[in-house]
DNA sequence: GTCAGCACTCATTAATCACGAGTGCTAATC
DNA sequence: GATTAGCACTCGTGATTAATGAGTGCTGAC
């Protein structure tokens, strides 16, 4: 859709003002604050056109205009310029994500989540990498007692996963050692999807003597690795109370109950075909968040997309700023992982 | 404080009715629903006495009475009879906590948390055991690459904890094996508090050859085990919207922001001198929850108190029922752990 | 094409009033 | 002396009304 220069300016003014004030924007306001050389009457005519085009809405006759979902979309795609954090701010972000004594994946991610919600003042969600998409760096069995084994899997994405196994027969250290060597040799470097019947029966052929223990172990480990285990971290859930759109109790409840359902949340923030996405209002599939917007970006570990970071908030969102922040943090995060994992 | 039989009856009626309706209770209501053989006027006199005693409050002159914090306390301590779940319900709880393919500590606890909030309709919180109070069942080092080691600690309480270690020198499998044997021999059965300088230097004396690697490892592992790592699981946070006391936006916000702060939450739900506790309103130390009540109970693993389960909700809480449920679930949980860990 | 002027719409706020639930007090009754 | 009927009084709630003002669409002049 091609819009004249003046219409673009007016749409921009309305989005900007509405994002700031949360009040419908009238023609007089625009004429006074944004476009001082046009009269309110002219602006009214243009606004009527923009409403016909589906880019603006009027809550009621005697109110100003607010952007429609399509209006926000047009603003994001065609008008807005991304506001990236300043170099100083980026340094600060780097600093925040690096100073930690223990560089575990979880801690870095937890910290990132908090950082995002602190900076943006929206609710942030970060998805951890999933074992399914990682490849195995090391798989080690630990004998805890005669019948208790713990399998520890370390992936190239830094995940450490423990699987508890009850063995049908007693195991001793030498058996464990043999199994360990074999499993590591055969499985390192593979992704979960690579592990198929061929690989398993190959290992099995080398392990005839312990076949019973082996099949107990391999099935539990395989099941456990196969399940979708991407976790989602949340921060700043109470930030929504700062926005008048959630003054209504039901609105707040709907939002929070969506947020509380980790399954839904994981789906929404899961990886996309693009490594950067904005969903505005009704563009969201889930009804509960049809009046929210979501911005998300992926981050990399070991040079492949591993998880996503994102925020969820009211449609009246400072897109230019939020998008700049998320893109920057996603880069910093990928860098941090490169260094520390 | 000794109360006459009639005053007890009236207090009970007021608490019961107020818990059910969330409306201040008037003398007429009591006379009609609870104590049909006394006139409203008499009840009014008694209510005035109960108010003088600090057990009742009046929101405003022309309203009925509501229980004060002390009124609830008197009810809980002296009047109420705990309502335990029926045997059938307990069977159902057992069933819910047992049917899981993988019996990991986390999963059982997560499920318990959900179960509590589902049954009680309040917000539930469950604290995991802490490594600090457990003893070490097995400590195993895994060599991931030349300089990357992961230490896996399994405790008697079923915790599996991973610690990532960057070694200053390259390590090979034989070194790891020696270290493993030694560490296991020296540390199994000890609690974190047992590990002091004596133990460490004892191990060190057996490990002169690898002293550099060893001290890198032991300090990181020790630090990591020492930190307070009890996690808190939450469920049913949006349940509060069902209760009119949180209709007010600020009330809801205060509650939810308290809930969001995992540090505060952990402190509040942390173990107590008693293995069962009720905190009503201003009995809570934290100002943010001065109009909430908390009920919590401990559960056992390996015959010692390991963590706590609890709920948080409005003071107007069905104490008799909630207490019965929590006590039962705490027992079932301890049983489940005995069987599966 | 632009814009001043004007009639019209409609959400918001304050003010007023009637209603009713509930109390405390007094005086009569058991 | 305890109980209770009767009554005046309090005060939150909800409905009604009216004034206000922000904003629009339309007309007609420049």
Over the stretch A22-33, which tens digit does the pLDDT of each residue have? 999 999 999 999
Higher pLDDT, B55 or A99: B55
Query: What would the DSSP string read from start to end of A233-301?
Result: EEE-GGGGGGSGGG-SHHHHHHHHHHHH-HHHHHHHHS--SSSEEEEEGGGSSSGGGTTEEEEEEEEEE
User: Is A224's CB within 8 Å of B102's CB?
Assistant: yes
Confidence of residue B100 (pLDDT cuts 50, 70, 90): low
Over the stretch A45-92, which tens digit does the pLDDT of each residue have? 999 999 999 999 999 988 999 999 999 999 999 999 999 999 999 999
Higher pLDDT, B201 or B34: B34
* d(C-alpha B26, C-alpha B44), whole Å: 8
Residue A25: strand pairing partners: A65
Over the stretch A156-165, which tens digit does the pLDDT of each residue have? 998 999 998 8
Confidence of residue B101 (pLDDT cuts 50, 70, 90): low
Residues in chain A: 341
Contact B103, B333 (CB under 8 A): no
The token pair that represents B237 in the structure block? 């946070």
- For the segment(s) A5-79, the CATH number from 1.10.10.10, 3.40.50.300, 3.40.50.970, 3.30.930.10 is 1.10.10.10
pLDDT of residue B188 exceeding 70 = yes
* d(C-alpha B119, C-alpha B236), whole Å: 10
* Per-chain mean pLDDT for chain B: 92
Range 21-40, chain B: CB under 7 Å to any strand C atom: 23-29, 40
Query: What would the DSSP string read from start to end of A10-58?
Result: HHHHHHHHHHHH-SPBPHHHHHHHT-TTS-HHHHHHHHHHHHHTTSEE-
Residue B232: strand pairing partners: B127
Contact B310, B329 (CB under 8 A): no
Highest mean pLDDT among A112-121, A272-281, B131-140: A112-121
Find residues 28-47 of chain A whose CB sits inside 8 Å of chain B.
none
For chains A and B, count residue pairs whose Cβ atoms are closer than 8 Å. Answer: 83
Mean pLDDT in residue range A196-201? 82
Q: Say which CATH class B87-129+230-340 falls into.
A: alpha beta
pLDDT of residue A256 exceeding 80 = yes
**Residues sharing a CB contact under 8 Å with residue A33, sequence separation 6 or more, in sequence order:** A13, A17
Question: CA B15, C1' D8: Å apart?
Answer: 30
Q: Out of B140, B224, B257, whose CB is closest to A238?
A: B257
Give the pLDDT confidence score for residue B205 in this predicted structure. 84
Mean pLDDT in residue range B156-183? 88
Nearest CA in chain B to A251: B241
Looking up tokens 């994500």 gives A97
Q: Please list the residue range(s) of chain A that carry CATH number 1.10.10.10.
A: 5-79
Dihedral angle sign, alpha carbons of residues B49, B50, B51, B54: positive
User: By the CB < 8 Å criterion, does B334 face chain A?
Assistant: no
- B220 chain-A contacts, CB cut-off 8 A: 102
Mean pLDDT in residue range B98-108? 76
Nearest CA in chain A to B163: A104
Bases of chain D with protein Cβ within 7 A: 3-6, 9-12, 21-27
Distance (Å) from the alpha carbon of A256 to chain B's nearest alpha carbon: 7
pLDDT of residue A179 exceeding 90 = no
Return the residue in A161, A188, A238 with the most chain B beta carbons within 10 A, the one to mutate for interface testing.
A238
Give the pLDDT confidence score for residue B78 in this predicted structure. 95
User: By the CB < 8 Å criterion, does A241 face chain B?
Assistant: yes
Instruction: Indicate the range of A301-305, B38-42, B216-220 predicted with least confidence.
Output: B216-220
User: Is A138's CB within 8 Å of B144's CB?
Assistant: yes
Nearest CA in chain B to A138: B144
Rg (CA), chain A: 26
User: By the CB < 8 Å criterion, does B181 face chain A?
Assistant: no
The token pair that represents A96 in the structure block? 């925040």
Considering only CA atoms, which residue is closest to the C1' of nucleotide D21? Answer: A62
Confidence of residue B195 (pLDDT cuts 50, 70, 90): confident
User: Is B142's CB within 8 Å of A154's CB?
Assistant: yes
* d(C-alpha B90, C-alpha A219), whole Å: 33
CATH architecture of A132-226: 2-Layer Sandwich (3.30)
Nearest CA in chain B to A143: B138
Give the pLDDT confidence score for residue A42 in this predicted structure. 95
* d(C-alpha B82, C-alpha B218), whole Å: 49
């Amino acid at each position: 859709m091609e819009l004249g220069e003046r219409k673009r300016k007016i749409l921009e003014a309305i989005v900007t003002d509405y994002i700031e004030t949360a009040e419908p924007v009238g023609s007089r306001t625009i004429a006074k604050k944004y476009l001082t050389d046009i009269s309110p009457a002219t602006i009214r005519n243009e606004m009527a056109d923009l409403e016909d085009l589906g880019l603006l809405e009027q809550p009621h006759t005697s109110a100003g205009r607010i952007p429609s979902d399509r209006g926000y979309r047009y603003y994001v795609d065609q008008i807005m310029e991304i506001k990236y954090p300043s170099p100083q701010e980026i340094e600060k972000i780097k600093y925040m994500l690096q100073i930690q004594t223990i560089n575990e994946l979880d801690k870095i991610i937890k910290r990132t989540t908090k950082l995002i919600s602190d900076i943006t003042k929206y609710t942030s969600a970060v998805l951890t990498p999933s074992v399914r998409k990682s490849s195995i760096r090391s798989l080690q069995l630990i004998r805890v007692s005669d019948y208790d084994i713990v399998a520890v899997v370390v992936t190239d994405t830094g995940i450490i996963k423990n699987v508890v196994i009850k063995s049908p027969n007693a195991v001793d250290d030498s058996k464990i050692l043999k199994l360990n060597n074999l499993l590591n040799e055969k499985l390192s470097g593979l992704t979960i999807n690579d592990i198929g019947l061929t690989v398993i029966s190959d290992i099995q052929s080398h392990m005839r003597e312990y076949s019973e223990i082996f099949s107990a172990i391999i099935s539990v480990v395989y099941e456990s690795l196969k399940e979708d285990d991407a976790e989602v971290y949340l921060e700043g859930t109470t930030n929504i109370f700062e926005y008048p759109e959630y003054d209504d109790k039901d609105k707040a409840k709907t939002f929070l109950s969506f947020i509380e359902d980790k399954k839904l949340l994981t789906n929404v923030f899961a990886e996309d075909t693009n490594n950067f996405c904005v969903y505005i209002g009704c563009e969201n599939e889930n009804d509960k968040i049809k009046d929210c917007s979501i911005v998300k970006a992926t981050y990399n570990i070991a040079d492949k997309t591993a998880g996503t970071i994102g925020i969820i908030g009211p449609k009246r969102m400072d897109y230019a700023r939020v998008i700049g922040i998320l893109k920057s943090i996603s880069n910093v995060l990928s860098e941090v992982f490169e260094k520390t994992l």
